[in-house]
Amino acid sequence: MLLIPAVDMKDGACVRLKQGDMEQATVFSNDPAEMALHWLNQGGRRLHLVDLNGAFAGKPVNEQPIRSIIKATQQFAAEKGVEIPIELGGGIRDLHTIEHYLFNGISYIIIGTAAVKNPPFLQEACKLFPGQILVSLDAKDGDVAIDGWSKLTGINVVDLAKRYEDYGVNSIIYTDIGRDGMGAGINIDATVKLANAVSMPIIASGGLHDLNDVRRLCEVEDQGISGVICGRAIYIGTLDLKEGQELADSLRSGK
């Protein structure tokens, strides 16, 4: 079980939102690259970046801080002799943008709204960039949300995920937006239900709070859940990233 620290960017700063509401943004750092390095020094093995402005604008907005994070991460990885993959989402709606980011150091591209609105685009992206495309499915009570969580579609998240089975999607990031940023705990049942319905690995997101959530996820890891996005919990301190990853590693090695 991989714990993946999130660095969400709004107006060039590192922030956390509550339930995707841009008006409920808490700024944790004005230097996203410095924050990314903090999580790497705490044992993070992968980074999850989101251009929040881009998610609402439908095009990249926070490219400068993203470039700074890429540079800092590459330097860190070189010094430690390790690989640190970076996944990026938020406003990525065309193949040119995908190619641009992958060429400049991003490892995986997260497609969210565009995957729902334009499945042929997702299909083409998976074909052109095999193994590097993740799909972000955000839902409330099983209802898929798009456009920065501002609109519910009426499409069931499991039904939609099944449509992507043959596309070549690397993984699905599943976020319960009713719990995101609320510290209510991961929606284990819904996450397992989705994992059991599809062949792609699932990365859990939304509501992670403490070590108990890490334990619960590790208990169902063999259902097809490969990781979890760590957001507000590691920023406010209800979960220590290093301690959480060490726990996940120990539970895995103990099986």
Residues carrying an active site annotation:
8, 138
Q: Which residue has the tokens 């944790």?
A: 28
Question: How wide is the angle at C-alpha 91 spanned by C-alphas 88 and 93, nearest 5°?
Answer: 100
* Cβ atoms within 10 Å of 68's Cβ, excluding its own: 16
Question: How wide is the angle at C-alpha 59 spanned by C-alphas 198 and 32, nearest 5°?
Answer: 85
* Cβ atoms within 10 Å of 81's Cβ, excluding its own: 6
Distance separating alpha carbons of residues 83 and 88, to the nearest angstrom: 16
List 175's β-bridge partners, or say none: 138, 205
Distance separating alpha carbons of residues 146 and 105, to the nearest angstrom: 27
